[in-house]
Structure 1
Amino acid sequence: MNDLHATRLNLLAGGTDACTEMEHAIGIAQSPACSHVFTRTLFDEARRQVARSVPQSRLAGLAFTAKDLFDIEGQPTPAGSVVLSHAPAAKADAVSVARLRAAGGVLTGRTNMTEFAFSGVGVNPHHGTPANASDAATPRIPGGSSSGAAVSVATGAAFIGLGSDTGGSIRIPAALNGIVGFKSTARLVPTEGALPLSTTLDTVCAMTRSVRDAVTAHEILAARRVTAGAAALGAYRLAVVKNVFFDGIEPAVARAFDNALQTLRDAGARIEEIQLPELAELQAINATGGFSAAESYAWHRLLLERSGAGYDPRVAQRILKGATMKAHEYIDLLHARQAWIARVEAALSPFDAVLSPTVPITAPAIASVAPGAERDDEFFRINALLLRNPSIINMLDGCALSLPCQAVGELPVGLMLWHASLHDDAVLAVALQAERALQKQ
């Protein structure tokens, strides 16, 4: 399946045209592979827009999708819920949507998500759950919370899936669907027009089919140019953190990760194994509930009082945990985080990027975590496993990219390349080289 970069070059060479590419994307979007992917489609509007598109623009009239928590002018912003389905229409596009449109992208629809973005599993009891694109035989979870956005990219219904990442909501579904997900440093992309989960941790970012497309999407969303040199892998000093990230890892994930490291070493990468004892501090730092619970409760408390019965019970349960946090506990959390970030940044300063499994498991069957109280224990166990690794980078205020690293024919496994804040260009540079090496194996 071609990525955006290759398709755009084909457009400029006259090998295809934007209308043909749009019809192809819409055809996939309407197929069974995209069942439950969209909460609202914009196909007729997309056809009108693509007819006026400019091939020389950065996105050349190609399709992108937007997670259901982004404002689109003239539409309500339900965020995967039913309690906001009749909310007032947005008066303008979210900044991120507007930037993708201005770059020549054509929006084909709003994508399904975990209600209010509060889970890494991707299950939605209101709109159904889109099946992972990697396994036609067994419906598997897509990962969340940007579930529909991931499947839209993985199936070929879109070249860019706009989403958000608060604890892994871009990287988890990217890893489980075998695509690329880049979480930038949060402050680089405006969040205006995106319904919040945690104002401290939320990051607006995207999923794509390749690292070079991730660079393009980030440059558009952040309105900046990435400086990613063409140095070989051997020019970078890389680390693997051995504690926490590998706890509870599935054999298939461990095998894929180890094989990926060997491939990178064979390509010249210098990789050192290190311990990061600061990770053991996170449980105590977040003991009073963490940012997501407190900040989501502040936003949802009145809506819960009015319409709590309409919430996904699992989501409501997590939001309500924020009701007990005291003001001094929240302020202590802010200070503890800043001190922890400083210690971790110092420990990682000798390295250009860190390598870890994005998540320690492959995608389980939807049936094992489908809505129902009898499956709640398994749902929350899986959710905790999925969120554990990527959420560390959100707590660090860092940047990270998930890159597929499984062998052909195996369920997708994500290799996460990451670092502290504002190391985005270095992470992307290493990821470009790592992707080239892994594609040759």
Structure 2
Amino acid sequence: MLSTLDELNLALQEGRKTSIELTEEALARIGDPAGEGARAFTRVYAEQARAQARASDLLREAGLRRSAVDGLPVSIKDLFDVRGETTMAGSVAREGEPPAEHNAVVVDRLIAAGAVIVGRTNMTEFAYSGLGINPHYGTPLNPWDRATGRIPGGSSSGAAVSVSDGMAVAGIGSDTGGSVRIPSALCGLAGFKPSAWRVSMAGVLPLSANLDSIGPIAPTVRCCAALDAIISGDNAPAPEPAQLRGLRLAVPTTLALDAMDNHVADSFRQTLARLSAAGALVEEIAVPEFAALAGINAKGGFTAAEAWAWHRDLIARAGGRYDPRVVSRILRGKDMSAADYLDLLDAREAWVAAVDRRIAGYDALVLPTVPIVAPPVADLAASDEAYYAANGLILRNPTLINFLDGCALSVPCHAPGSAPVGLMIAGSNGADRRILAVGMAVEDLYAGR
């Protein structure tokens, strides 16, 4: 069992652990040659982390505690700027590019909160895939079924594995089409994608300005809520778990339940049955707008258009150094016209309004985060056809919420010891605290509280 922020804070408070001890344990796991550290991290900040940990211990001895993450090891995804370093974003194409002049806002907020930043985590190159496969730095393996060697999910692959393997208490990632929720679901963790405006993107290498968001991956929803408050600057009291009895939950039957494998389908059905038994009002609803999204994005959508705008100069200089499966998708944006982009903006506005009206009477949507368990890395690495088919299927449900400009959690809902499955709990823009409250209630249900 992974330790939560609350458990570790209590251990620090009671003197059973020190920050330097926790940090040394995390660094030892990162450096273990038999572990996943070399693939989960692209850069390790060992000495800086030790200095931050010593500072935290000294402040705690003086009676000062800065936040819920003070003195705890945290990882950051390799697309957040760190002053004096070139942000590589899981690529080699940016070698020689100018270093960042400032930290990303999210990095500064973590440092101010006393987080011990142990390193930068690996990711799908430029965050452009939901699988987590990286040909440059290697692919960290999913903690489930390491013998087979399964994908961790992406793009925040290293962030999830850093948490699952105890190399960090939490990882901060980004989510443009599921890049926090997918690895959380496939690795058996909690992950939160906030409303896009909630956490500053300043100093973060973008994928799609219209869809990008920043969120935490951690052992529990409560951990995610505490981290979200820190990186968003939300000083309001922490959300309390919702009352399940009387909660109105909508299960979208359009698209979101298609192509589930047997294990995901069984886990999802059992979760719905437990929610109903606890008094929640679970109702299946059609959301025809979901079926229309593929047509709206047929020319590549915001991701291709906005990625092409950012990458075109770099591709001209170093396109041969990109992962071919990434650059080919970026190049789709080259053929989109200004009129296509304006049409897309209009279509999204109408689509969001229609979906918001359809789900307005519910406290949350509930659906599988990912409809299949994590497939083997080797199968996807060997076949473009298998790679793109799995990528599309794995991104499908999370992408719906990014296009909605909404917020969502992935919460583990599988039987202990079985393949990880995530339950996605989602809402419209601005419903962040309500979704976290619902997630806490679902988590408590599974913990028997």
Same-fold call, TM cutoff 0.5? yes
Q: What residue is the counterpart of 2:172 in the other structure?
A: 162
Q: What residue is the counterpart of 1:18 in the other structure?
A: 19
2:104 corresponds to 1:94: yes
The structural deviation recorded for 1:57 is 2.0
Q: 1:326 aligns with which of 321, 331, 337?
A: 337
Q: 1:57 aligns with which of 66, 69, 72?
A: 66
SS at match of 2:8: helix
Query: Matches of 1:438 and 1:79 in 2, distance apart?
Result: 36
The structural deviation recorded for 1:268 is 2.1
Query: Matches of 1:92 and 1:235 in 2, distance apart?
Result: 48
The amino acid that maps onto 2:423 is L
SS at match of 1:415: strand
The amino acid that maps onto 1:398 is G
SS at match of 2:39: coil
Q: What residue is the counterpart of 1:413 in the other structure?
A: 421
Query: Matches of 1:120 and 1:401 in 2, distance apart?
Result: 16
Q: Deviations over 1:267-295 (max 9, x none)?
A: 22221111111112212211222000000
The structural deviation recorded for 1:86 is 2.2
Query: Matches of 1:363 and 1:226 in 2, distance apart?
Result: 36
Q: What residue is the counterpart of 1:375 in the other structure?
A: 383
Q: What residue is the counterpart of 1:29 in the other structure?
A: 30
Q: Any conservation in 1 of the 2:267–2:413 contact (CA below 8 Å)? A: yes
Q: Any conservation in 2 of the 1:33–1:133 contact (CA below 8 Å)? A: no
The structural deviation recorded for 1:235 is 3.8
Q: Any conservation in 1 of the 2:241–2:439 contact (CA below 8 Å)? A: no
Could you tell me the TM-score, scaled by structure 1's length?
A: 0.97
Q: What residue is the counterpart of 1:45 in the other structure?
A: 48
Q: Any conservation in 2 of the 1:94–1:192 contact (CA below 8 Å)? A: yes
Q: Deviations over 1:204-260 (max 9, x none)?
A: 111111010110011011111366244421142111111201111100000111111
SS at match of 2:245: helix
Q: Deviations over 1:86-144 (max 9, x none)?
A: 22111111000110111110111011000000000100011010001122322110100
Query: Matches of 1:226 and 1:217 in 2, distance apart?
Result: 13
Query: Matches of 1:124 and 1:109 in 2, distance apart?
Result: 18
Q: Any conservation in 1 of the 2:226–2:238 contact (CA below 8 Å)? A: no
2:161 corresponds to 1:151: yes
Query: Matches of 2:157 and 2:241 in 1, distance apart?
Result: 33
Q: Any conservation in 2 of the 1:358–1:414 contact (CA below 8 Å)? A: yes
Q: Any conservation in 2 of the 1:264–1:438 contact (CA below 8 Å)? A: no
Q: Deviations over 1:369-411 (max 9, x none)?
A: 12xxx51110000000110000000000000000011101111
Query: Matches of 2:310 and 2:89 in 1, distance apart?
Result: 13
The amino acid that maps onto 2:441 is Q
Q: Where do 5+ consecutive residues of structure 1 fail to align? A: none
Q: 1:339 to 1:226 in 2, by over 3 A?
A: farther
Q: Deviations over 1:328-355 (max 9, x none)?
A: 1100100110111001001110001110
SS at match of 1:233: coil
Q: What residue is the counterpart of 2:134 in the other structure?
A: 124
**Which runs of structure 1 show a deviation greater than 4 angstroms over 4 or more consecutive aligned residues?**
none
Could you tell me the TM-score, scaled by structure 2's length?
A: 0.95
Identity among equivalent positions (%) equals 47
The amino acid that maps onto 1:317 is S
Q: Where do 5+ consecutive residues of structure 2 fail to align? A: none
Query: Matches of 2:25 and 2:317 in 1, distance apart?
Result: 43
Q: What residue is the counterpart of 2:115 in the other structure?
A: 105
Q: What residue is the counterpart of 2:249 in the other structure?
A: 238
Query: Matches of 2:312 and 2:200 in 1, distance apart?
Result: 25
Query: Matches of 2:390 and 2:90 in 1, distance apart?
Result: 20
Q: Which moved more, 1:388-397 or 1:239-248?
A: 239-248
Q: Any conservation in 1 of the 2:172–2:217 contact (CA below 8 Å)? A: yes
Q: Any conservation in 1 of the 2:177–2:399 contact (CA below 8 Å)? A: yes
Alignment map for 1:271-420 (pairs within 5 Å): 271-370=282-381, 375-420=383-428
The structural deviation recorded for 1:27 is 1.5
The amino acid that maps onto 2:4 is D
2:274 corresponds to 1:263: yes
The amino acid that maps onto 2:228 is H
The amino acid that maps onto 1:21 is L
Q: 2:184 aligns with which of 156, 165, 174?
A: 174
The Cα RMSD (Å) is 1.2
2:212 corresponds to 1:202: yes
Q: Any conservation in 2 of the 1:67–1:148 contact (CA below 8 Å)? A: yes
Q: Any conservation in 1 of the 2:225–2:238 contact (CA below 8 Å)? A: no
Q: Any conservation in 2 of the 1:146–1:170 contact (CA below 8 Å)? A: yes
Tell me the matched-pair count.
Answer: 438
The amino acid that maps onto 2:303 is S
The structural deviation recorded for 1:20 is 1.1
Q: What residue is the counterpart of 2:265 in the other structure?
A: 254
Q: Which moved more, 1:188-197 or 1:276-285?
A: 276-285
Query: Matches of 1:369 and 1:35 in 2, distance apart?
Result: 21
